[in-house]
Structures are given as structure tokens and as C-alpha cells.
A and B are shown apart, each in its own frame.
Chain A
Amino acid sequence: MTEATIYGLAGLAVFGLGLMGVLGAADRLRRLVALNLCAGGAAMVLVASSWRPPPAAPDPVPHALVITGIVVMVSATAVALALIRRLYSLETDTDA
């Protein structure tokens, strides 16, 4: 049972939880958070795959990938949030 296994499985579990959240959540915000959980889980798996037993240095490539992934995810989150805000404005406008 190495670190990679532990965190890898944890990453998968987080991904699974996120998936469930995305599928089931009714709340737009919550679905977005769930998607972020998915992203976190996927990133965790990637980072875990880069781990090497201590004397060896970890593989830097997945790290780079994950950094890219994090930035991409935050961009997507920002867009989704902008949509949510705009929708909310329009919906409350029409309600009013």
C-alpha cells in the first residue's frame, strides 16, 4: 500500500462523488462544485501516477498536466459562474 495507491484511490473516490453530485444535484452552483470535485479527483489520480518511491524524484510531466488542468478548470468555472449570474439576473427580472 503505497502513497500512490492511497491517494489514487482517494482521487477516484472523489471523482465518483463528484460524478454523483453532477448527476443528481438540482442546484446549479452545487453541480459546478461537484464538477470541480471531479476535476480534483482526476488531478489526484494523475499526481498519484507521478509518484515514485522516495529516493526517486517524481515524474514532472503529470505535475505540469495537473497545473494546466487546474487553470483550465478555473476558467471553465468562471464561465459557468458568469452564466449562472446572468441567468439569475434575467430570471429574477422576468419574475419581478
Chain B
Amino acid sequence: MPEFAPDPMTLAILLPLFGAIAAFLAPRAAPLIGLGAVGAMAAAIAAVGHAVAQAGTVTVPLGGWGAPLGIELRADGLALAMLGLTALIALAVGLGALSAFAGEAPADGQPMPRQRAFFWPLCLLLLTGMNGVYLSADLFNLYVMLEVISLAAVGLAVLGGTVAALRAGLAYMYASLLGALMVLLGVGFVYLQTGRLDFAGLAGAQGSPALSAAFALMLVGLALKAALFPLHFWLPEAHANATAPASALLSALVVKAGLYILLRLAEAGPFPGEAILTLLGVLGTGAVLWGGVQALRAERLKLLVAWSTVAQIGLIFVALARAGTEGLSDSWRAAALLILAHAVAKAGMFLAAGRIKDVIGHDRISELDRSAVRPALAQLAFALAAISLIGLPPSLGFIGKWSLMEGAMGAGNWHWIAVTMAGTLLSVAYFSRALTGFLRFDRVRAPLDEHRGWALADAPPVVLAGLAVGLGLAAGPILAVLDLGRPFGVTP
């Protein structure tokens, strides 16, 4: 028997898969299995981190064939950061899910344990897909991974089982499928032009009509999946109507898959051109403004948070497009920082919003201040996450915005700074709607019942939101990690 020594990257993808299988087979033990699998995955990711720290970029030729015949897994700093982020959020959301699905039956009379039984397999399959996306160096494999993510994400989005959730989930399904099919056709065009499917083949290619078409298809497909304005129409309802842990995963991770693939495509291929970047910046601006405006008039807390996702995604696109003098080789860092910041903060925020909704019994913003019960810690978590999303120092969101504005300023793009500022002001405005509801007390009739002790469910949002704020101080190490293996071929 040869010694058994799988590489950590494969493990990072397959461990959650095994977890999903086990959780599916043994629904009763699903939470335990799920947390165990996430923990094991985190360990594998730590091992990947070790390898990346040693070697910069690590590749595994699956099946021993190597590109272009076989599929390769590749990890560098950017992938590592995303892997770590995923592990962190999965862990936190998993803990949050323990009690989120353990509570009483929801309004429509569905038995909750069923949700819990299905949450874990879907969540773990989602993690499989996410990790697969981060580590993949093959275009078609990315398509398959996107489909894994899509199906798992739709499953999570409709976990609540309400009509609204199902409708939103179906719209999400269609958008997601269409996006994936566009990517597929794009892959076809790439193959047509280069005869290869790996990133390396793309890297050597010259610009050509077929590649332009491929990029156009993949860009639109991924933008649809990442909910870039005006292709965001599916997102708010889908994220707002899902159960809180699912929303956290969808908002923090799933939309990032599209962004990540775009970054990778841009890194490998002879695109995008200057005009496309400007277009992305403009669309990002539209997202920042429209998302902000819609968040301002959202009536429910989770819907507000979902619209804020639209705005933040727009900001990330602005960063991607315009945060540097050297194009993407300069601006990807700002985009990556914003991706990380948004993921951590938004996961915390959705979990907090879920807690608030659970404790108060509803999440209508206008009536938050009528409740005699105030989930103080969840509200604190919400506020902390808002700080990061607004971009106040010293949060990670601030560091991301700083990088964005610094890059834009360096390139003399003051109007993009103005966009960022406008987005910031809008976010202050819409988040303060919620905060005002938390902090107002004079509309409460009943005696105030403020402190109901600590619940385990409070820990994940508080920790995540705290990290979203505190990680700003660790921006140096984070940037160092991102630069491992020199993504985009530039030294910091």
C-alpha cells in the first residue's frame, strides 16, 4: 500500500464534499459533521497557506497529466486569501446556523429540523464549489464549479420555503444559469481560438475577435452572477428572503466567485481593454448610486442589507476598473481588499440582521424602535459591520476604500473619488436608518427588556463584525498574503 499523501489543495476541495456526503447520509449529525468538515477544511487551507508562503505559487497537476491535457489546481496569495476568507466565514456562519435553525418553527409552519438537515449538505457543497473556483486554473472546470455553486446557492436561497423565497430563488436560478451558459459559450470561443482550456493557454494568446467575444460572454455572464448593475435585479430579493445564514453565505461568498473569476481572467488574458474598464467603472458607479438609493427606501432590514450588497459590489467594480495608474496590475489589490472587507462585514451583518429578526420577531425598519426587546449584541454587530461597509477607519473597508481612492488619485481620476465619497455618504444615510431604530427608546410602550443574556448565536456576528473593523489594522499582513506568488505578475 503506497503511503497516502494527498495534497492540501485537493483536500480543501474534497473535504467539504465528503462532509456534504456524510451530512446528507446522516441528517441528525449534520451540524456536527458540518462543523467538523469546515474545521478540517480550514486545516487543509492552513496547509495550503504554508505551501504558498513557502513557494509563492503552488500548482497540482490533477491526474498527473498537467496542463493543457489535464486540469491543474493553482494557489497563490490571492487564492489563499479567498480560501482563508471562505473558511472564516464558513466557520462563523456554521456556528450561527447552529442556533438559527434550532429555534422555534417559522411562521409558515414548516418544521425547522428539515432546514437544518439540508443546510449542511448544501453549505458544504457550496464550499466545495467556492474552493474549487479559487484553486482552479482551467476555464471549463470553472464553469462546472460555477454550476456547483449555483445549485447549492439556489438550494440555500430557498431554504426558508416561503413563496417569496422560492420566487426569488427561481429568478436567481435563471440568472445564474444564463450567466453560466454565457461563460460556457465563452469557454467555447476560447477553445476555438487557442485549442486549450487552461489559463496558461490564455496567457500566451493574442487579442482576436474570438477572444474578444469570449471575454464579452464571460464578462457578462460573470457580471450577472456577481450582480453588477444593471444585472443585479435578482439579488436583493434572493438575499433578503433567504434565511440569515444562507444570506450571509450568498452575499459574502457567492457573488465573490464571479468577481474572483473576472480577476483571474483579467490576470491571464489579453483583456480587458481601457474602454471596458471605463464601462465597468461606470456600471459600478451606477450600482453604488442605485443600490444606495434603493437601500434608502428599503422597508425591511434584510432588504436594506441586500441592496447595500449591490452598492458594494459596484464599488468593488469601480476599484477593479479605476484604482490605479497601471490598470489592473495596480488596482486588483484595492479590489481584493474590498472583496475581503465586504465579505467579512456583510456576513456579520446578515447574521446580525437575522438575529435581530429572530429576537424582535420582524425586521421592518420603521418599527424597530417600537420593540421592547433589544438584541444589543446583534445590534452592536450590525453597527460594527456598518462601520466597515461605510468605510470608516480603522476597518478593513476603510483600508479598501483608501486603496481605491489612493489609486484613483494617483491616476488623477478625481471623479472616481467623488463616486466613492457619494457611495460613502449614501451608506451612512441608509445604515443610520437602521441604527436610529436601534437606539431610539421613546416609542417603546412596554418596559424595556434590554439584556437577555448572551446567546451563542450572538458570537458569530459580533466576531465577524469585530474582525471587519479590526482587520484594518492587519492590512499589512493581508496585503503581504495577497502578494504571495505575485498575482498579476507585479511585485508590490
Contacts and interface: CB of A to CB of B under 8 A. Distances in A.
B184 A39 contact: yes
B372 interface: no
B147 to A, nearest CB: 5
A62 B139 CA distance: 13
B167 A87 contact: yes
Contact of B166 (A22, A69, A87): A87
Given A35-B177, A65-B140, A79-B151, A90 B191 contact: no
Given A76-B150, A83-B158, A87-B166, A49 B188 contact: yes
B474 interface: no
A62 B305 CA distance: 42
B200 to A, nearest CB: 16
Query: For this complex, into which size category does the number of interface residues on chain A fall?
Result: 20 to 34
Given A22-B178, A72-B144, A45 B188 contact: yes
Interface in B165-193: 166-167, 169-170, 173-174, 177-178, 181, 184-185, 187-189, 191-192
Looking at A32, A61, A94, the one whose CB has the most chain B CB atoms below 10 A away is A61
Nearest to B175: A22
A76 B173 contact: yes
A31 B189 CA distance: 24
A32 B181 CA distance: 12
Given A22-B178, A76-B147, A45 B185 contact: yes
Given A15-B185, A41-B185, A69-B184, A87 B178 contact: no
B124 to A, nearest CB: 17
B166 A90 contact: yes
B191 A39 contact: no
Contacts of A46: 184, 187-188, 191
A46 B214 CA distance: 13
B174 A84 contact: no
B459 interface: no
B226 interface: no
A63 B143 CA distance: 15
A2 interface: no
Nearest to A68: B144
B163 interface: yes
B173 A83 contact: yes
Interface in A37-63: 38-39, 41-42, 45-46, 49, 61-62
Q: By DSSP majority rule, is chain B's interface helix, strand, loop, or mixed?
A: helix
A42 B167 CA distance: 27
A38 B163 contact: no
A79 B150 CA distance: 11
A42 B163 contact: no
Query: For this complex, into which size category does the number of interface residues on chain B fall?
Result: 20 to 34
B242 to A, nearest CB: 14
B220 to A, nearest CB: 10
Interface string B391-411: 000000000000000000000
Contact of A31 (B150, B174, B187, B188): B174
A38 B178 contact: yes
A42 to B, nearest CB: 4
B151 A76 contact: yes
A83 B166 contact: yes
B173 A79 contact: yes
A6 interface: no
A59 to B, nearest CB: 8
Nearest to B146: A72
Contacts of B144: 68, 72
Looking at B144, B169, B181, B192, the one whose CB has the most chain A CB atoms below 10 A away is B181
Contact of A86 (B151, B166, B174): B166
Given A31-B174, A35-B178, A94 B169 contact: no
Contacts of A69: 143, 184
17 contacts: A15-B185, A31-B174, A35-B174, A38-B178, A39-B184, A42-B184, A42-B185, A45-B192, A62-B188, A72-B147, A75-B151, A79-B155, A83-B154, A83-B158, A83-B173, A87-B166, A91-B163
Given A35-B181, A41-B185, 9 more contacts: A35-B174, A38-B178, A75-B147, A75-B151, A76-B177, A80-B173, A80-B174, A80-B177, A91-B163
Return the 6 tightest CB-CB contacts between A and B, nearest first. Answer: A42-B185, A45-B188, A46-B188, A38-B181, A42-B184, A49-B192
Interface of A: 15, 19, 22, 28, 31-32, 35, 38-39, 41-42, 45-46, 49, 61-62, 65, 68-69, 72, 75-76, 79-80, 83-84, 86-87, 90-91, 94
